[in-house]
Amino acid sequence: MRLKSNSRENEEKFLSNLKSLLDNPQVMIPECDNKSILCPIKKYQKLLNQGNFKKSSNFISAFHECKMICDDNRAPLMGIIKTNYGSVPYCKRGNTDETVLAGVQNYNNDVFRLLAFKDVVSKNISVFSTRHYFTAKCKDGPDISIFMDILDEEGINYKVSDNNIIIGSSGEKMHVKYMGTSFIIYQDFKGNLFYYLFKHILTNDMKAEINIDFLKEIDIDPDDYVKNNKNTNDFIEGAIEYKKRYVVSNNLYAIGDKIYTINDFCNELNIENNRLIELISRHGIYLEDKNVNKLYELLFKYDKNSLLKSMFNVDDNDIKNLHGDYKSQIEQLKKLIESINIDRELPEPWSENSSYLISIIKEYRLNGREHALSYGERHMDNYIKKAIYCAFTESMGENRLFMFSDNEIILGKRIKPYMDDLISGNKMNINELKNIIM
């Protein structure tokens, strides 16, 4: 037990309060709607009316200790009980439970007086204490006005609509049902509803229903909010993240706040590739919105090879040399596929010089004009290659004739019509070109 000394001024104030309590002990009896003849609160009321402070319970015994203190007219030392809502002082003279004793001695504090009924709530009775209410109920929940009074006393803004108490106004919202009263709490409310309720309610009933609109099909644990004093924003954010993880770990398919069947999920994303649908079916997927690229990034992490095979007509050998992240490897594969397709369209090289020609055309189709010009200039190492490069610069509209000899320019002009056909993909007589480029 923690102790602190009492100043004479505080001691006199404390003793005066105790004497007032003993003059009117009924002030500690809440209004009770319990119809049972065994109601413990009604029993307390009867004993206090009789002035009978014999030890029949901790509650009655507390009045006996208060009388002993007043008879002694001394309270130099005070004990301290720590609660979630502050420190509660009390003075002890016997064996009464300290919590109950502290509640009785703080009868004029509408929060701390609840401690006096610690033994009562074990009998399924709930006690409600605010500035305007001091009530005990055993069966039915309290009227909504009691909850409104608690929120008023705690300075919490709210409104009532369709018999719902609404707190906050923005962000995700959760629906709370407690003791028959419905609350709608928005994410911008930073406090914890039950922290304030339990400040004014002593009860064993800590069961509440809590639902969040986001992925409402997935249940959440209300105790994390009811019993752990987690602020509303953190609780809702945590619940949302939990639901996203639940989707993935339970092989569900969700976009935003809606869960889909595998077929509907793929329809929403316009996915018709059967190999890709089969791959998706192996994993739970959560997407913030209808972004198919995000889906591909997720599948890439799960099973890169299967994804790339389903998207492109490639095999493991094509994939093994890829590097970088999803986007980088997709671009590499696109280049590979494009390169394969270009190879199919272009003639097979028949000589070293023709290989140079084909390489320039391929570089142009894959990487564009500037890359092709740079490549061709770096690799023209003989008379015929220079003529080929001269023809390519002419096809590109480049005035680079100063780079070439007269003979190279003349040969280049012979090559240029075939160069134009190769660039545009037109049909041409390859044998004629073979006669020009050996």
Q: 350 with 384, same domain?
A: yes
The DSSP result for 311-337, as a single string, is: HSS--HHHHHT--SSHHHHHHHHHHHH
Three-class DSSP labels, 18-58: HHHHHHCHHHHCCEECCCCCCCHHHHHHHHHHCCCCCCCCH
Q: Is residue 311 part of a domain?
A: no
Q: Is residue 150 part of a domain?
A: yes
- In this prediction, residue 171 carries a pLDDT of 93
Q: 83 with 151, same domain?
A: no
Sheet strands (E) in 59-147:
77-83, 86-90, 126-129, 134-137
Q: 166 with 116, same domain?
A: no
Q: 34 with 78, same domain?
A: yes
Calpha distance 33→28 (Å, rounded): 16
Q: Is residue 88 part of a domain?
A: yes
Q: 108 with 154, same domain?
A: no
Q: Is residue 354 part of a domain?
A: yes
Q: 373 with 428, same domain?
A: yes
**At which of 216, 248, 280 does a domain end?**
248
- In this prediction, residue 34 carries a pLDDT of 67
- In this prediction, residue 125 carries a pLDDT of 86
**At which of 214, 248, 282 does a domain end?**
248
Q: 149 with 112, same domain?
A: no
- In this prediction, residue 37 carries a pLDDT of 67
β-partners of residue 317 are: none
Q: Is residue 105 part of a domain?
A: yes
Eight-state DSSP code of residue 184? E
Angle at 286 between CA 280 and CA 291, to 5 degrees: 80
* Residue 257 buriedness (CB in 10 A; 0-12 / 13-18 / 19+): middle
Query: Dihedral of CA 326/332/335/337: which sign?
Result: negative
Q: Is residue 283 part of a domain?
A: no
Calpha distance 319→312 (Å, rounded): 10
Calpha distance 200→202 (Å, rounded): 7
Q: How many CB atoms lie within 10 A of CB 407?
A: 11
Q: Count how many domains the chain has.
A: 3
Residue 148 near residue 158, CB atoms below 8 Å: yes
Q: Is residue 114 part of a domain?
A: yes
**pLDDT tens-place values along the chain, 438 residues long:** 577 887 888 889 999 999 999 999 999 999 987 666 678 888 888 888 887 777 778 999 999 999 999 999 998 889 999 999 999 999 998 899 999 999 999 999 999 999 999 998 877 789 999 999 999 987 777 899 999 999 999 999 999 999 999 999 999 999 999 999 999 999 999 999 999 999 999 998 889 999 999 999 999 999 999 998 899 999 999 999 999 999 999 999 999 999 999 999 999 999 998 988 999 999 999 999 999 989 988 888 888 778 777 777 777 777 777 787 878 777 777 777 777 777 788 888 999 999 999 999 888 888 899 999 999 999 999 999 999 999 999 999 998 999 999 999 999 999 999 999 988 888 888 888 888 998
Q: 154 with 225, same domain?
A: yes
Q: 13 with 101, same domain?
A: yes
Q: Is residue 228 part of a domain?
A: yes
Q: 197 with 92, same domain?
A: no
Q: 100 with 191, same domain?
A: no
Angle at 232 between CA 227 and CA 234, to 5 degrees: 95
Calpha distance 354→72 (Å, rounded): 118
**At which of 215, 248, 281 does a domain end?**
248
First to last CA, the chain: 105
Q: 116 with 145, same domain?
A: no
Range of the domain at 240: 141-248
Query: Dihedral of CA 21/22/23/26: which sign?
Result: positive
Query: Dihedral of CA 196/199/200/201: which sign?
Result: positive
pLDDT tens digits along 295-305 = 988 888 888 77
Query: Dihedral of CA 395/396/397/398: which sign?
Result: negative
